[in-house]
Amino acid sequence: MILLPTLPTLAIVGATGAVGREMLSILESREFPVSKLRLFASARSAGTQIPFRSEMLTVEPMVEGCARGVDIALFSAGKAISREWAALFVEAGAFVIDNSSCFRMDAAVPLVIPQVNPHALDAMQERGIIAVPNCSTIIALVAVTPLHRALTVERMIVSTYQAASGAGAAAMQELEQQAHAFAAGTPLATPIFGRQYLFNLFSHNSAIGEDGFNEEERKLLTETRKIWNSPSVRVAATCVRVPVLRAHAESIHLEFARSTSESEVRSLLANAPGVRIVDDRAANRFPEPIDASGGDDVLVGRIRMDPSVPDNRGVMLFVAGDQLRKGAALDAVEIAECLLERFGETDTMPQLDHRVHRTWGLV
């Protein structure tokens, strides 16, 4: 039987990146129980001092034997690092929670959103890799899954409006620098996206295949099918990069197996873990990235019936969620909390804030 110590040794691989630093903040604010926290990053970042709780932690390089003694490792250093190091951490005795796309579609690897499918962890018989879904998939499915459970989604059309944060800290800096350059009347530098980002939007910068879909759009299809265990659900996406610093927004059109009503949809969403309804028609206030930034909930609004779908089987939503938090770092930490809840050698849950348990939809 898998057992984790009540106070595990935790590691963050990629600790100096935007998501890694967000993980640190979340671990501290949620009072995640650890006996020791170890930080890893590239050789050029080794030796960096980062505060955590009441001490300064030193960033370590990735070297042979560095995984020894780690119980849970949160990876956010890119696909190449995950491919090289994740299995080594597992061999050393750790659970690896990976934010890259490296293992998401591996049939042997659970792809987990704690509010959606925590039960995917139950099949684990030994320490291994758990994948964090793509940020757009997480934000969409936290909002849509409560409706899918009750009404069965047959078709989902998604248009995303994705912030600079999805492309990392350098992309956020590029957008800020372009704003300063525009105000100063100087040329706009474009090292990340190769084009003006300020006052512009463009197709998501991931690779486009022969079918015309980019990688981000394909992820929404394949990951949704795996997470829902629903190979027949129809999903189509158009993913766009917009000049927003942080937090993604998505327009979602749903077609259900049976008829519904706006009141039923609102009721289902009002009771959904990780969801907050922001839908004030009188004031024209709906989900906005600026309001989602720094928050843990996915904001849902513009809730209305879709008149193009017959028999009251269609609903339209607009959602926003913080890509760095719920779309990446928070999901990984919540998975770690699920692991402690399931595999802790004693009842760890009383040491965790009650609201944490609540966000999984378990109470």
The residues that are catalytic are 135, 248
Q: Are 315 and 256 in contact (CB under 8 A)?
A: yes
**Identity of the residue numbered 121:** L
Q: Are 235 and 153 in contact (CB under 8 A)?
A: no
Q: How far, rounded to the nearest angstrom, does the alpha carbon of residue 160 sit from its chain's CA centroid?
A: 14
CA 11/CA 263 separation, integer angstroms = 45
135-151 helix and 215-228 helix, angle to the nearest 10 degrees: 40
Long-range contacts of 32-36 (CB under 8 A, 24+ apart): 32/333, 32/336, 32/337, 32/352, 33/6, 33/7, 33/8, 33/340, 33/348, 33/351, 33/352, 34/7, 34/8, 34/9, 34/10, 35/5, 35/7, 35/8, 35/9, 36/9, 36/10
CA 153/CA 342 separation, integer angstroms = 29
The 8-class DSSP code of residue 102 comes to S
Give the contacts of 261 (CB within 8 A, at least 6 positions apart). Answer: 305, 312
Q: Are 299 and 305 in contact (CB under 8 A)?
A: no
What length does the chain have? Answer: 363
The 8-class DSSP code of residue 119 comes to G
